[in-house]
Every structure is written in structure tokens, then in C-alpha cells.
Amino acid sequence: MAIDRVGVIGAGQMGSGIAEVSVRAGVDVTVFETTDALITAGRNRIVKSLERGVSAGKVTERERDRALDKLTFTTNLSDLADRQLVIEAVVEDDAVKAGIFAELDRVITDPDAVLASNTSSIPIMKIAAATKNPQRVLGLHFFNPVPVLPLVELVSTLVTDKAAAGRTEEFASSVLGKQVVRCSDRSGFVVNALLVPYLLAAIRMVEGGFASVEDVD
């Protein structure tokens, strides 16, 4: 079944970006945050981004309004009960994420719903272990800024249900228009596993006197 009801946990830079691209694609999105102040900040972030799109001629006023009509916010996690896909985008703290996933596992009513983490570095299995249904947990790592960068890493663990991963890939590619890279559940996944050695090599070149900072830049 196609995914058209999405939940997003966290309305920060990444969460608001994920919510924005989803509602622009016509998806019904509910965003969870812990306080009304954080909800206001997240909504303002999305509105300003859409307004920039209108000013640049990339988004029409009608598209902006239709997108905002698809967007709701809540401080009650139970309001995400009917979501087919929930994407967590909170602080990179494995204990915090594990607690959220344990609660989502209890709250989400659809047994086929997918629980995804936007983590860039924490092993997905470590997060999935906090749930009673680890087979529906996977990684869906977007890159910042989400409305601009096309890449998404889809991370399956050894127990992730293949159908769940397939539905999520179809959503990210066909609905959101993202370029999906399938990854195994390893440190850094693909992009950061490539990026970190590259950055370390640049640092060593400068420290060794082989090139200046300006040359490396």
C-alpha cells in the first residue's frame, strides 16, 4: 500500500525539511514536538522556506497553500497512531532515540507501519532493539538542506522486513523524488564512511606541511 500518511518526530532543521518536502509532494504530515514554542519555530521555518520558493519562482502560491494545508503539529505522540511511516529526526543521542522508538512501537496502530530514523551515525539495530517489532525499523538518512539535496540513504538491518524497506524506498524515490542509496547497517553508512577518511586525509596533509589550508580548501 502506498504511503500517504507520514509522521515526523522533531521540528528542527532536519525534521522541518523532511516535513516540507513531504507536504510539497501532497503527503499528509503530522509533526511531533515537545513544546508549543518548538512547534511555532518549526512551522515558521517551513513557512519561510516555502516563501523563499515562491519568491524564487520555484513554488506557486497555490502550491504553498496546498502544502501548508497538509501540515499539522502536535505535542501528543498518540496523534501519530495512524501514520504509515514515522521518521524520527531528533538529537544524535542513542538513548533518546531508543526511548522514542519504544514509545512509537507502542503507539502506532498499523502493524505494517515503518519506523525510520534520520540518524547519520548511530547503528539502526541499536535503535530497533528498543522495540518489540525491530523488523519494521530502518534508517532513512536525509541530507541538509532536505529540500535541496537529492540524496537519501536507506539503511536496513539484518532483521528489517524487505517489504517495509521496499515501501519506504518507493516513497522516497517516487513520491519525494529523492535519489535513494541502499546501505547496510555499518558505521557512517555510505556517505559519512567515505567523507570522514577524506577529511582526515586533508587534515594530515596540512599537518604534514604538504599543502596549506587554502590549497586544501
Tens of pLDDT along 16-66? Answer: 999 999 999 999 999 999 999 999 999 999 999 999 999 999 999 999 999
Say how far residue 181 (Cα) sits from the centre of its chain.
14
Query: Which residue among the candidates 192, 207, 212, 214 is catalytic per the annotation?
Result: 192
133 annotated active-site: no
3-state secondary structure labels for all residues of 59-114: CCHHHHHHHHHCEEEECCHHHHCCCCEEEECCCCCHHHHHHHHHHHHHHCCCCCCE
Say how far residue 171 (Cα) sits from the centre of its chain.
12
Question: For residue 80, is pLDDT > 80?
Answer: yes
Query: Which residue among the candidates 63, 120, 133, 173 is catalytic per the annotation?
Result: 120
Pairing of strands 137-142, 151-156: antiparallel
Question: For residue 176, is pLDDT > 90?
Answer: yes
22 annotated active-site: no
Locate all alpha helices (DSSP H) within 120-161, ordered by sequence. 124-128
Query: Which residue among the candidates 153, 156, 173, 184 is catalytic per the annotation?
Result: 153
How far apart CA 79 and CA 178 sit, in angstroms, is: 27
Say how far residue 21 (Cα) sits from the centre of its chain.
11
Task: State residue 197's pLDDT score.
Answer: 63
121 annotated active-site: no
Chain segment 103-136, per-residue pLDDT in tens = 999 999 999 999 999 999 899 999 999 999 999 9
Task: State residue 186's pLDDT score.
Answer: 85
192 annotated active-site: yes
Query: Which residue among the candidates 20, 117, 141, 169 is catalytic per the annotation?
Result: 141
φ and ψ at 196, to 5 degrees?
A: -60, -50
Question: For residue 199, is pLDDT > 70?
Answer: no
Pairing of strands 71-74, 137-142: unpaired
Task: State residue 165's pLDDT score.
Answer: 98
Task: State residue 192's pLDDT score.
Answer: 59
Determine whether 94 is exposed, middle or buried from the number of CB atoms within 10 Å of its CB (0-12, 13-18, 19+).
middle
Say how far residue 122 (Cα) sits from the centre of its chain.
14
How far apart CA 97 and CA 49 sit, in angstroms, is: 27
Task: State residue 151's pLDDT score.
Answer: 96
Task: State residue 96's pLDDT score.
Answer: 97
How far apart CA 46 and CA 201 sit, in angstroms, is: 37
Determine whether 152 is exposed, middle or buried from the number of CB atoms within 10 Å of its CB (0-12, 13-18, 19+).
buried
